[in-house]
Structure 1
Amino acid sequence: MLRAAVLGQPIGHSKSPVLHSTAYALLEVPIDYRAIDLSPEQAEAQAAELRAGGWAGCSVTMPLKDVFVPLMDELSDRVRQLGALNTIIVDAQGRLRGENTDVDGILGALADAGVRQVERLTVLGAGNTTLAAVAAGAELGVRELRIVLRNELKAQKVAALAEELGMHVRVEELGSLGEGALAADPLVISTLPPHGADDWLSALGAGTGVLLDVAYDPWPSALAESWVGPVLSGEHMLVHQAVEQVRLFSGVNFDESVRENVTNALYASIGLHREG
């Protein structure tokens, strides 16, 4: 029996143990998956424990997504580009590889909602999940990116990534937005924490495009409640990024049929309706 876990702080709200345990039971793969409350100061010791053996891998959430990057033996191209990981894969020799499946999570959630190509994207926030959203946008064909946040100085890393990916970037501070500024945007991804957009609503307006609000506890957010168009919670993203982690941890060959079966089982495990 190999071990796996989700690492973060706080971690009690995480649905990853339910998702992963459901998948391994379905696939008949002997992996015991738990939640571990871990501070940034404990990351180095945790990496050493992973190298000691008996581990398949770990999911990584806040505030550790960039903390673990320098502790890896190998990084995927995506992690090197974003500077953040959400997945640690442990090989048979105890080497640690950093991967980022948040991008897969965003793409999978949006595909379920019928979004497979879009030219304009608006993101709210500028953290590590925003970087994943921009990378996902590049795969969707986004050419124009708008970054909305309270302080435009915090947008530098996101803007630099977007420009590297060939996007035309516009950064706007919340205070400069006119009423209903997002009303006509085809795709909006909020990477703000729970309640992070509660006092943004008058400026953002009731959008008619697709909204992916990565926060999901509590749900619905005030932003989601005010939205007119299709809304996806962070749980949709969580399911799809977990499916990819399961593939990486289990070593099972995921053909289209296996991926669909696992995805549907994970949606059912948390009582979530799958779009599409």
Structure 2
Amino acid sequence: MTRRHRAAVLGSPIAHSLSPALHRAAYAGLGLDGWTYDRFEIDEEALPGFVEGLGPEWAGLSLTMPLKRAVVPLLDAVSETAASVEAVNTVVFTEDGRRVGDNTDVPGMVAALRERGIEKVESAAVLGAGATASSALAALTRICPGGITVYVRSEARAAEMREWGARLEADVRIAAWEDAAEALRAPLVIATTPAGATDALAGAVPERPGALFDVLYEPWPTPLAHRWSAAGGVLLGGLDLLVHQAVLQVEQMTGRVPAPLKAMRDAGERALSAR
């Protein structure tokens, strides 16, 4: 039997990815000599040929934009979590040659919050309505029995979030981006927006903020995150999400549990500080 010991992250652009640093640190911590983890610049057009050309030595793939949906037709099975958000960020190659897709962003977000002592909130707010917002909604359905307010910039985005709410059976309410300062009073705020989008909200951080999960990791901290932390609120960043979803990927691809969370986080912090 061929030993499966190769993995990689695919996407476009991919040069910025921290995944190699995290996974390689995990292999070192687990004593997995001979395991390699690379990055490949792959777009949607090149993806089918790349996947078809992989040999039996491959254990798995991490996928980032724009491949999380494009990979689905190439798979033999997709987990319930991945199907619920129509996005696969993890592919595991089984010993019998099957390609199985999963989404570790959703449970990774839940695990990151749990690490900070947040296991349940009565309500929450989501800033933005892009691809990450659907994963945020899916994560919130596991910890938030109350209402989730999503702040969006357009009616088209509002319609998308209403659809995701119905699909995920979440109590989703839509609010205009112009009222986003109100979101900061929620017990938990998840910011899924691009760099710069929430900068103007920094001055609206309440005196006693709850928890903020800003999915950006570069640049970090954002003005909003900086002000939030200064006010004494619980703060999570994109590195928290990246590390926790990578922990789950490593465990699935290698079969070794638990993956070394601290070593992976340390590696991510070193990689970021070197930039």
Per the TM alignment, residue 196 of structure 1 is displaced from its structure 2 partner at its CA by 3.0
Q: Say whether the 8 Å CA contact 2:124–2:144 is kept in structure 1.
A: no
* Structure 2 partner of 1:243: 247
Within the candidate set 71, 75, 79, 1:76 is matched to 79
Contact map agreement 2:12 2:43 (CA 8 A) in 1: yes
- TM-score when normalising by structure 2: 0.88
- Note if 1:46 corresponds to 2:44: no
Q: Give the Å deviation of 1:99.
A: 0.2
The correspondence of residues 78-93 of structure 1 with structure 2, limited to 5 A, is: 78-93=81-96
Pick from 156, 159, 169 the counterpart of residue 159 of structure 2. Answer: 156
Q: Percent of aligned positions with the same letter in both sequences?
A: 37
Q: Is 2:262 aligned against 1:264? A: yes
Quote the residue 2:237 is aligned against. 233
- Secondary structure, counterpart of 2:141 in structure 1: helix
The CA distance in 2 between the partners of 1:197 and 1:6, in whole Å, is 29
- What's the offset of the Cα at 1:200? 5.0
Q: Which amino acid is 1:138 matched to?
A: T
Distance 1:192 1:4, change over 3 A: same
2:39 is aligned to 35
Q: Are positions 1:192 and 2:193 aligned together?
A: yes
One-letter identity of the residue aligned with 2:250: V
1:58 aligns with 2:61: yes
Question: For residues 81 and 17 of structure 2, what CA distance do their matches in structure 1 show?
Answer: 24
Letter in 2 for 1:135: A
What corresponds to 2:17 in structure 1?
14
Gapped regions of structure 1 (runs ≥ 5): none
2:120 equivalent to 1:96: no
Question: Is the partner of 1:147 in helix, strand or coil?
Answer: strand
Instruction: Determine if contact 1:194/1:216 at 8 Å carries over to the other structure.
Output: no
What is the CA–CA distance in structure 2 between the aligned matches of 1:84 and 1:127, rounded to whole Å?
12
DSSP 3-state at the match of 2:182 = coil
Q: Would the aligned equivalents of 2:84 and 2:168 in 1 still touch at CA under 8 Å?
A: no
Q: What RMSD, in angstroms, separates the aligned Cα atoms of the two structures?
A: 1.9
Deviation at 1:19, TM superposition (A): 0.6
Cα distance change of structure 1 residues 226 and 241 upon mapping to structure 2, 3 Å threshold:
same
2:26 to 23, 26, 33: 23
| Matched residue, 2:130 | 127
Runs of 4 or more consecutive aligned structure 1 residues displaced over 4 Å after TM superposition: 199-202
Q: How far did residue 69 of structure 1 move? A: 1.6
SS of equivalent residue, structure 1 residue 4 = strand
Measure the CA separation in 1 of the matches of 2:144 and 2:201.
Answer: 28
Amino acid at match of 1:145: I
Q: Which residue of 1 aligns with 2:149?
A: 146
Kept in 2, the 8 Å contact 1:182–1:206? The answer is no
Of 3, 7, 14, the residue aligned with 1:4 is: 7
Contiguous gaps of at least 5 residues in structure 2: 271-275
- Which residue of 110, 114, 117 maps to 1:111? 114
Deviation at 1:201, TM superposition (A): 4.7
Give the distance between the partners of 1:19 and 1:120, measured in 2 at CA: 32
Deviation at 1:249, TM superposition (A): 0.4
Q: What is the TM-score normalised by the length of structure 1? A: 0.88
| Distance apart, 1:31 and its partner CA | 2.1
Residue 211 of structure 1: aligned partner: 212
Q: What SS class does the counterpart of residue 239 from structure 2 fall into?
A: helix
Q: Which amino acid aligns with 1:193?
A: P
Letter in 2 for 1:172: A
Q: Distance in 2 between matches of 1:64 and 1:21?
A: 22
Report how far residue 190 of structure 1 moved: 1.0
SS at match of 1:62: coil
Measured after TM superposition, the shift of residue 199 of structure 1 is: 4.4
Question: What is the rounded CA distance, in whole Å, between the counterparts of 2:184 and 2:239 in structure 1?
Answer: 24
